[in-house]
């Protein structure tokens, strides 16, 4: 087990290493659609690349989620065949968001031997998710 400060240091080391290994400007929070973000997640159990929909207004959340559901066939056949749709996804902090994501299990931010595999996974899948998102952004936001 790692102390809180050791864990924080390891996380910072991973993300710094990832930024150096894959130096590009990721879209992430800069989607230009309020409350819709692209995210990297790497925990002690798994890694994910996702589109998160997190407005406080449930009607807006459902609207964006329905738009992404309508694009599911395109997303799974042309970009990420293993994408998972969860309308009610609980984050570690207890907050419920709608999340569309791909993930790998059996990796840990605390295990440096899984870092390279995770970095490749994150980069490859975020590239595809960004390409999809940018191609259909106007439809999603309208």
CATH number of the structural domain spanning residue 28 = 3.30.1460
Task: Identify the pLDDT of residue 106.
Answer: 96
In the predicted structure, residue 130 carries a pLDDT above the cut 80: yes
Task: Identify the pLDDT of residue 2.
Answer: 81
pLDDT digits (tens, 9 = 90+) for 31-49: 999 999 999 999 999 999 9
pTM of the model: 0.92
State how far the Cα of 3 lies from the Cα of 68, in Å rounded to an integer.
39
Task: Identify the pLDDT of residue 78.
Answer: 96
Q: How many domains, in total, are found in the chain?
A: 1
Confidence of residue 142 (pLDDT cuts 50, 70, 90): confident
Mean predicted lDDT score pLDDT of the chain: 95
Residue 48: CB atoms within 10 Å = 20
In the predicted structure, residue 1 carries a pLDDT above the cut 80: no
Structural domain including 35 reads: 4-141
Task: Identify the pLDDT of residue 133.
Answer: 97
Longest C-alpha distance within the chain, in Å? 47
pLDDT digits (tens, 9 = 90+) for 72-87: 999 999 999 999 999 9
In the predicted structure, residue 3 carries a pLDDT above the cut 90: no
């Amino acid at each position: 087990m790692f102390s809180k400060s050791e864990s924080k240091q390891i996380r910072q080391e991973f993300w710094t290493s990832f930024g150096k290994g894959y130096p590009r400007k990721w879209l992430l929070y800069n989607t230009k659609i309020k409350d819709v973000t692209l995210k990297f997640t790497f925990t002690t159990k798994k890694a994910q690349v996702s589109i998160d929909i997190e407005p406080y207004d449930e009607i807006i959340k459902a609207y964006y989620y329905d738009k992404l559901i309508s694009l599911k066939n395109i997303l799974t056949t042309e970009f990420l065949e293993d994408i998972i749709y969860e309308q009610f996804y609980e984050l570690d902090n207890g907050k419920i968001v709608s999340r569309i994501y791909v993930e790998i299990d059996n990796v840990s931010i605390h295990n440096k031997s899984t870092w390279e595999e995770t970095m490749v996974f994150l980069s490859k899948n975020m590239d595809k998710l960004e390409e999809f998102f940018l191609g259909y952004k106007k439809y999603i936001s309208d």
